[in-house]
Amino acid sequence: MHRALLRHTLILAVVSIASSVSAFWTENDNNTNNQPQQWSSYFQQRQAGACGTGEPSPALRDAHKRLSSTEYRQVVVGDGDSSSNASSRPPVDSLPRIQVDTWFHVVSTSDQADLVTNAMIADQFVYLQQAYANTSIHYTLRGVDRSINDTWARNGDALAMKRTLRRGSYSALNIYFQTNLEMSDPSGVNSRNAMNHNRNAVTKFPRDQEPHYSSSSASSSAPNLLGFCTLPNPQINSSSTLDDYISDGCNILAATMPGGSITHYNRGGTAVHEVGHWHGLLHTFQDETCAPGDEGDYIPDTPQQSTPTDGCPAPGTKDSCPDLPGLDAISNFMDYSSDDCYQNFTYDQAMRMRSMWSAMREGK
C-alpha cells in the first residue's frame, strides 16, 4: 500500500465517516459484574509472545497445515486445474467480500476519560479497513461504546468487562481500546507480577526489540503492553455458547491509535497487527529459527525469518535467514516493525485469513 495514497484515502474516508461514528455511542460507567471465570486456556495463551498474543495451539497449527494444502486447490478448481499454479490464482480483491461485524469498546480511567477522541476512533477504523482492503475482508462498525472504569482500563476484572461489553457472536470482532492496558491475572487483580512474568517469558528479545511493549506509560514508569488478541479456537463450533468464547477479541493500548502518544507506534498499526492474529495469522518470525524444515508461520510467501524487526530498518538491509530465500518482510503487518514501516499482508496471508474465516468463524 503506497503511503501517500493511503494517507489521501484516509483523509477522504475520515471525513465521510466521522459524522456517523458518533451515532454509535453508548455509555457505560463502572459496570462490574461478579461472573464465573473460565480463563484457563485463554490466560495460558496470553502468557507467551511479545505482543501478548499467545502461541498457537497444536490444533491451530494443524489447521494451518491443512488449509495450506487445500486453499489454492479450492480457488483454482473452477478452471479445471487442480495444481497450485500461482499464475492461475485469482486476485484476492476479486473474491467475494468477507464482512466482519465489528464493535469498538473504549475503556478509560477516570483521569484519562478524554484521551481517546472521536477522531482517533474514526481514524483507527479507517486504517483497519484500508489495511485489509487487499484481502477482501471488510469491517462493518456496528457500534462504539465508552466506559470509564479504572479497573477495566488496565484490563483488571477483564472477564466482567467482556461480559458487559462484548457484542455479537464468535464471528464478530470486538476490540477493547484500553488506556492502561496490562496483562491481568484471572482473578482480575492488578497483575504487575503477571506482566513481569510475561516479559520474562520473552527475554530472548533485547528490550529494545520488543516494540509491542512501550516504556512510555501515561500513568507509570512501568512498560505497557501494546496489544493482544485471541487466536481462533478450532474447538468452537456452531453449537458453542457465549461462555465458550467470551474472552474472544482484541485488547489494544489506546495510545497506539492514530494520534496517540507512542512515537512510531501511533498510526493504528497495532490494531491491524492484532486483528491479523484474530484471523489466525502468526508472526512472520514464528518459531524464530532458520532451521530447515521449520514451517514458521505456515505461509508460503513470507520468507523464513528468525528475529522480530525493531523499528523500521532501510529496505533490503535485514535478512535474518541469509542462507534461505528472501529478505525479512519488514513491511509486513505481522512483523514487529514500527507503524511507519507497516504496509501490507502478502497474497498467501490474505488467502489464509479467508480460509481461516471459513473454517473457524463464519456462521458461528
Q: Which residues are catalytic?
A: 274
* Dihedral sign of CA atoms 64, 66, 70, 74 in order: negative
Measured from the CB of residue 189, what is the shortest distance to Zn ion in angstroms?
A: 25
| Shorter beta-carbon distance to Zn ion: residue 146 or 277 | 277
* Residue whose C-alpha is closest to residue 283's, from 345, 233, 224: 345
C-alpha 41 chain-centroid distance: 19
179 interacts with Zn ion by CB under 5 A: no
Task: Kindly state the cell numbers that stand for 55.
Answer: 502461541
Of 72 and 176, nearer to Zn ion (C-beta) is: 176
Quote the least distance from Cβ 229 to Zn ion, whole Å: 8
Nearer to Zn ion, 51 or 126 (CB): 51
Q: Which triple of cell numbers denotes residue 81?
A: 486445474
Pairing mode, if any, of strands 213-214 and 224-225?
antiparallel
- Smallest distance from Zn ion to CB 356, Å: 15
Nearer to Zn ion, 53 or 224 (CB): 53
Residue tagged 472504569 (cell numbers): 149
Q: Which is nearer to Zn ion, 51 or 121 (CB)?
A: 51
- Cβ at position 232, least distance to Zn ion in Å: 14
Query: Taking the complex as a whole, how short is the minimal distance between the CB of residue 193 and Zn ion, in angstroms?
Result: 22
Residue 153: phi and psi, rounded to 5, are -60, -25
| Closest residue to Zn ion in the complex (CB) | 51
Q: Contacts with Zn ion in 28-87 (CB under 5 A)?
A: 51, 53
Nearer to Zn ion, 188 or 280 (CB): 280
Q: What are φ and ψ of residue 250, in 5° steps?
A: -125, 140
Strands (E) across the chain are located at 25-29, 98-108, 137-148, 173-178, 213-214, 224-225, 227-229, 250-253
Closest distance to Zn ion from the beta carbon of 225 (Å): 11
Specify the pairing of strand 173-178 against strand 98-108.
Answer: parallel
Segment 236 to 255, residues that bind Zn ion, using CB under 5 A: none
Total binding residues for Zn ion by CB under 5 A?
A: 2
Residue 177, strand partner residues: 106, 252
Q: How many helices (H) and strands (E) does the chain have?
A: 10, 8
Cell 482500563 sits on residue: 153
Site for Zn ion in 111-130 (CB under 5 A): none
Q: Is the CB of residue 302 less than 8 Å from the CB of residue 296?
A: yes
Quick one: how far is CA 33 from the chain centroid?
A: 27
How far apart (Å, rounded) are the C-alpha atoms in residues 124 and 292? 39
Q: Say if residues 353 and 361 touch (Cβ distance below 8 Å).
A: no
Which residue lies nearer to Zn ion by CB, 63 or 231? 231
Please give the Cα distance from 127 to 12 (Å, whole number): 12
Q: Which amino acid is at 126?
A: V
Indicate whether 214 belongs to the interface with Zn ion (CB under 5 A). no
Distance in Å, CB of 36 to Zn ion, minimum = 29
Query: Which residues of this protein are in contact with Zn ion, per CB under 5 A?
Result: 51, 53
